[in-house]
Structure 1
């Protein structure tokens, strides 16, 4: 299936790189990646699902091929992340898409729900993410080792920063990424500057009430050996969204990549069930 790329301008002028594949008349899925990654991490979904669904993905601000503003406020204000998601939905004329958000992308989804609500969406798929960051409760949601690692990523010293990026990259999967993806994924992980790490991970996030208001079909997926989010993050989302389905995978931080066949099957089942109602 042919992939179409375009630049989408968000409300504050930040230009976001995005791609789409599939039939526009089919149900849409909007894929949001995490920090220090790129939209290409969703390759296995685009390769296998774009014949059935209209698939759209984009690089977060400060990441991949999207703009990288130097102003910390560009990453610390919730409305900007919400506007990014809204801009992608508008630019591709997505009709009530299902949003599939991974890691930090889950925070961007929470930002969208906070400022725009759920009216224009059909469902949520949340992969290895959480509802909170830098709150008292969030200390139990993120592994202590990752919290220590983030200190390296804040460092202006290139050696420490490089070590931190390498450590994060290696932790995303239990097994090395496939050869065809290695250069793309690895290169993308170095495109996020230390100042951007500081701004993104320095903000206080609490989307508990935003997710609690969700009545849409919801699927929470997480890796049993995720070195970033603890299983408590998925459990908290289940408590906040009682009707959510929860699916655990024998992998690290990227179940949609390491266990792609199962993830895609469950995503298709989720989509079919959502649109049958």
Structure 2
């Protein structure tokens, strides 16, 4: 009987170790400190998550906390100007898209992740494209654009001028109200109150200089350089990104891309349909590992 309890205890400790979080910082080439978080199985296949505008690693809680994804090495990080990462006061630190690509490169080098799958949501798609343009896909396993911004142009991004102007405002009330409206636009199915409020607080932490500068960020066409599998995953009811034109433009740049549309989701299918998203991500990750 005692032996059984020892086995149970060891299994419990193993499970706790697998899910244990690891937090550290990486220094970007221009000196900005980038906050990195790891969970899941340190020896598992790696997945790196890149959040969107006004987000942080907290956006990926439904993935990091998923029992079905614990067999993978789950790596998140906060983009510059967001979350726990550094928030430079210089607009050029955000305007130059190469710097965001360099941040991702620094994270990948520090983690030493082998053939990771990179998952970029919304603005995270811009980071992916700039990374591919600068570094290519050597050492990567695959790429997932989640409601990704393929290019910063009016044909691909839904116009919400009052919201974006409000987010850039120096008036605190106007700014915060616009941030709340922007966050609400991310969802067709709004998350529970506690989650929404946490994400709203998270958004309010973002650098105002970054928020004003991102719309003019330089974006390089990195998709043509991707030879690894690329999956485009969009919510069919996205009101921030024009889905069909974005997919069409991505296919122009790289005809080999795969696509999935979640008809019930808005801009954040990884939260709105988390179970389905996690299953599709696992299949994509495993298919690459078996090739």
Partner of 1:237: 250
For 1:108-147, list aligned pairs within 5 A.
108-133=127-152, 138-144=153-159, 146-147=160-161
SS in 1 for 2:62: helix
TM-score, reference length from structure 2: 0.89
Q: What CA deviation, in whole Å up to 9, does each residue of 1:131-175 have, x standing for no partner? A: 211xxxx2110112x244211111111122112101011111123
Query: Are positions 1:56 and 2:97 aligned together?
Result: no
Q: What CA deviation, in whole Å up to 9, does each residue of 1:17-53 have, x standing for no partner? A: 1110122222100000001011111111111244221
Partner of 1:228: 240
2:270 to 253, 256, 259: 256
Query: Are positions 1:219 and 2:234 aligned together?
Result: no
Partner of 2:260: 247
Partner of 2:12: none
Taking the aligned partners of 1:107 and 1:268, their CA distance within structure 2 comes to: 23
Shift of 1:239: 3.1
Partner of 2:119: 100
Partner of 2:15: none
Is residue 8–residue 15 contact of structure 1 (8 Å, CA) maintained in 2?
Answer: yes
State how many pairs are aligned: 270
Shift of 1:179: 4.0
Partner of 2:7: none
Taking the aligned partners of 1:68 and 1:50, their CA distance within structure 2 comes to: 31
Taking the aligned partners of 1:243 and 1:202, their CA distance within structure 2 comes to: 29
1:25 to 43, 55, 60: 43
Please say which of residues 220-229 and 19-28 is displaced more in the overlay: 19-28
Partner of 2:32: 14
Instruction: Mark the structure with the bigger radius of gyration.
Output: 2
Taking the aligned partners of 1:139 and 1:78, their CA distance within structure 2 comes to: 18
Query: Are positions 1:191 and 2:209 aligned together?
Result: no
Misfit runs of 4+, over 4 Å: none
Partner of 1:71: 90
Taking the aligned partners of 1:81 and 1:201, their CA distance within structure 2 comes to: 14
Taking the aligned partners of 1:230 and 1:147, their CA distance within structure 2 comes to: 15
Please say which of residues 188-197 and 56-65 is displaced more in the overlay: 188-197
Taking the aligned partners of 1:17 and 1:235, their CA distance within structure 2 comes to: 34
Partner of 1:89: 108
Q: What CA deviation, in whole Å up to 9, does each residue of 1:88-117 have, x standing for no partner? A: 111111112110000101111111111111
CA RMSD of aligned residues (A): 1.4
1:201 to 190, 193, 215: 215
Is residue 69–residue 282 contact of structure 2 (8 Å, CA) maintained in 1?
Answer: no
In structure 2, the gaps of 5 or more residues are 1-18
Shift of 1:70: 0.3
